[in-house]
């Protein structure tokens, strides 16, 4: 593995000092940057730099690591000289995928298929745009919103599918209380319903803050998820 250059090390140190990265996130990010041979502070690829910067801003640990995984997938190959070659995260044959970022991979320990997709809110939220994640494995499926705000014990989320009437329900909370998970009993129906509309609006009340609203552009979701319908156990829409 290539060592991180001085600029990269300095940049990572600043992030840790400022409290942006924890130890686990720092390790994941360091391995990502080392493996692709770039420094985040002086990345040659603007798209990679933007992707990593977006990941750094995510507070929730699980969501942040999933974001790093998706960013790493754009550097999945090297040339004959061993230099990283950027390849598209999205398959070149898949048009009409909207604003979704996604990747398919396999668990290195079990070889089971893993599919991760996420879309960032279009609605401005003081620089901390919520992100909607969907992660499918053979034995588990998760759909959650990383709000990037401290929620305390409030997990009441109001959602609106397209132009339908708003619905309010209690979701499950992440350990660090900055993200909420769609309840497992409604997960498949929730995802399938998302595929029938072009946007999902969600709102929550963070701790001692005003309501946060997220508007996710779901355009292209069917194109993105159709190849993984069985893995995600989606109902026919």
CA atoms within 13 A on the CB side of 107: 12
Most confident of 31-40, 80-89, 119-128: 119-128
Domain C-terminal end among 84, 110, 130? 84
Torsion of CA 187, 192, 198, 201, to 10 degrees: -20
- 204 and 111 assigned to the same domain: yes
- 45 and 118 assigned to the same domain: no
- In terms of residue numbers, what domain contains 72? 6-84
Q: What is the rounded average pLDDT for all residues in the chain?
A: 74
Statement: residue 122 has pLDDT above 50: yes
- 164 and 127 assigned to the same domain: yes
Q: How many domains does the chain have?
A: 2
- 80 and 109 assigned to the same domain: no
- 105 and 217 assigned to the same domain: yes
pLDDT value at position 65?
A: 65
C-alpha 120: how far from chain center: 8
Q: Give backbone dihedrals phi and psi of 62, rounded to 5 degrees, phi first.
A: -65, -45
How many other CB atoms are there within 10 angstroms of residue 184's CB atom? 12
- 73 and 131 assigned to the same domain: no
Q: Residues 24-65: pLDDT tens digits? A: 554 455 445 444 444 443 343 454 456 556 676 676 666 666
Asked if residues 147 and 62 have their Cβ atoms less than 8 Å apart, the reply is no
- 108 and 216 assigned to the same domain: yes
- The predicted model gives 73-90 an average pLDDT of 42
- 124 and 222 assigned to the same domain: yes
Lowest-pLDDT range, 29-38, 148-157, 195-204, 221-230?
Answer: 29-38
- 161 and 52 assigned to the same domain: no
Beta bridge partners, 140, equal 137
Asked whether residue 1 is assigned to any structural domain, the reply reads no
- The predicted model gives 97-110 an average pLDDT of 91
Confidence of residue 157 (pLDDT cuts 50, 70, 90): very high
- 193 and 153 assigned to the same domain: yes
pLDDT value at position 125?
A: 65
Label the pairing between strands 212-217 and 167-170.
unpaired
Statement: residue 77 has pLDDT above 50: no
- The predicted model gives 146-175 an average pLDDT of 93
């Amino acid at each position: 593995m290539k060592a991180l250059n001085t600029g990269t090390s300095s940049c990572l140190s600043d992030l840790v000092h400022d409290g942006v990265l924890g130890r686990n996130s720092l390790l994941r990010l360091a391995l990502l940057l080392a493996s692709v041979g770039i420094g985040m502070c002086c990345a040659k690829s603007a798209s990679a730099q933007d992707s990593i910067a977006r990941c750094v801003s995510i507070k929730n640990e699980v969501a942040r690591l999933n974001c790093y995984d998706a960013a790493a997938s754009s550097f999945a190959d090297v040339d004959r000289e061993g230099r990283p070659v950027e390849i598209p995260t999205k398959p070149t044959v898949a048009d009409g995928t909207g604003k979704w970022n996604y990747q398919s991979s396999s668990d290195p320990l079990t070889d089971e298929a893993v599919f991760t997709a996420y879309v960032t809110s279009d609605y401005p939220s003081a620089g901390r745009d919520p992100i909607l994640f969907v992660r499918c494995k053979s034995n588990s499926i998760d759909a959650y919103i990383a709000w990037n705000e401290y929620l305390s014990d409030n997990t009441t989320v109001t959602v609106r599918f397209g132009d339908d009437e708003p619905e309010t329900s209690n979701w499950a909370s992440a350990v660090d209380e900055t993200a909420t998970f769609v309840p497992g009993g409604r997960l498949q129906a929730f995802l399938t319903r998302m595929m029938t509309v072009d946007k999902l609006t969600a709102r929550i009340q963070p701790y001692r803050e005003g309501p946060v609203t997220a508007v996710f552009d779901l355009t292209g979701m069917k194109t993105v998820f159709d190849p993984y319908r069985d893995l995600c156990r989606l109902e026919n829409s």
